[in-house]
């Protein structure tokens, strides 16, 4: 248990569905992240939120829409996905955003997404 | 942006032997280098990290070395055990641990 909880653990959705992934961290961190993990690219940063503001969007298609309502929760809203979006989606959190305030990133167990 | 290369992609060792995984990075501004272990069905977990003002760090059977001039860093696992079998990722970050750029991973298998 890392203090970062992701739900659901597994999700199968059709290309016309809308679903959301949820991430919750109990570590008091001020930054949260979404990563995509697939056979093609093992760990790919998608979004960064710092103090609930999105500070980075790594050219992610608009069919992925993140939301960070507070520093403990992060969502990834999914709509009209493609089969190639099937992957493990990992949430992470850390404390500090620069200088000597770097702390390790804690990852959740991920949501295994299959788009059919 | 940062580019991290990791070698080898797979590594098989006999229990008790040492394992070495090497990474190179491109951005001289990177100053934080974590190593993560990912077991099947779990997210990556930090096993050791090193900052740019340190050349070597050790934690029991695990050690990491950093050569900033050459822009490479390595993970050393001694006296390997079957439970060390997992995928290992190196990463480099200029400032924010969560914004690390990851290597492609090394699948380590320790044979009993």
Chain segment A49-98, per-residue pLDDT in tens: 887 777 677 789 999 999 999 989 999 999 999 999 999 999 999 886 55
Which residues have CB under 8 Å from B75's CB, separation 6+?
B19, B20, B21, B23, B35, B48, B62, B63, B64, B88, B90
Which residues have CB under 8 Å from B97's CB, separation 6+?
A94, A96, A102, A103, A104, A105, B32, B34
Chain segment B34-79, per-residue pLDDT in tens: 999 999 989 999 999 998 888 999 999 999 999 999 999 999 999 9
Mean pLDDT of B4-32: 96
B44 touches chain A (CB under 8 A): yes
CA of A79, closest CA in chain B: separation in Å?
A: 24
> What integer pLDDT is reported at residue A97 of this predicted model?
56
How sure is the predictor about A103, in pLDDT bands with cuts at 50, 70 and 90? low
Nearest CA in chain B to A39: B104
B93 touches chain A (CB under 8 A): yes
> What integer pLDDT is reported at residue A48 of this predicted model?
87
Instruction: Say how far residue A44 (Cα) sits from the centre of its chain.
Output: 10
**CB nearest to A105's CB, from B87, B97, B105:** B97
CA of B43, closest CA in chain A: separation in Å?
A: 4
Q: Which residue would you say has higher pLDDT here, A104 or A88? A: A88
> What integer pLDDT is reported at residue B110 of this predicted model?
98
Contact state of B105 with A42 under an 8 Å Cβ cutoff: yes
Q: Which two tokens stand for residue A60?
A: 């992610």
Q: For a pLDDT cut of 70, what percent of chain B falls above it?
A: 96
Residue B97: pLDDT over 70: no
CA dist., res. B78 & res. B60, Å (int): 9
Closest CA to A5 of A30, A21, A23: A23
Residue A4: pLDDT over 90: yes
Chain segment A14-36, per-residue pLDDT in tens: 998 899 999 999 999 988 999 99
> What integer pLDDT is reported at residue A92 of this predicted model?
92
**CB nearest to A103's CB, from B41, B42, B97:** B97
How sure is the predictor about A100, in pLDDT bands with cuts at 50, 70 and 90? very low
């Amino acid at each position: 248990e890392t203090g970062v909880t992701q739900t659901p653990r597994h999700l199968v959705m059709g290309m016309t569905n809308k679903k959301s992934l949820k991430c919750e961290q109990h570590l008091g961190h001020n930054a949260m992240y979404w990563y995509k993990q697939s056979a093609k690219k093992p760990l790919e940063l998608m979004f960064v939120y710092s103090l609930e503001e999105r500070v980075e969007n790594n050219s992610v298609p608009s069919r992925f829409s993140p939301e960070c309502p507070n520093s403990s929760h992060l969502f990834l809203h999914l709509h009209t996905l493609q089969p190639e979006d099937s992957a493990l989606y990992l949430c992470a959190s850390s404390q500090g955003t620069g200088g000597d305030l770097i702390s390790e990133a804690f990852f959740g167990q991920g949501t295994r997404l299959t788009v059919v | 942006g940062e580019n991290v290369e990791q070698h080898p992609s797979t590594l098989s060792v006999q229990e008790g032997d040492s394992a070495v995984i090497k990474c190179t990075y491109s951005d001289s501004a990177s100053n934080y280098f974590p190593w993560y272990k990912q077991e099947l069905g779990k997210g990556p977990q930090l096993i050791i990290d090193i900052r740019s003002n340190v050349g070597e760090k050790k934690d029991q059977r695990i050690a990491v070395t950093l050569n900033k001039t050459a822009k490479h860093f390595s993970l050393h696992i001694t006296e390997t055990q079957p439970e060390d079998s997992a995928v290992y990722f190196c990463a480099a970050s200029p400032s924010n641990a969560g914004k690390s750029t990851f290597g492609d991973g090394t699948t380590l298998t320790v044979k009993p």
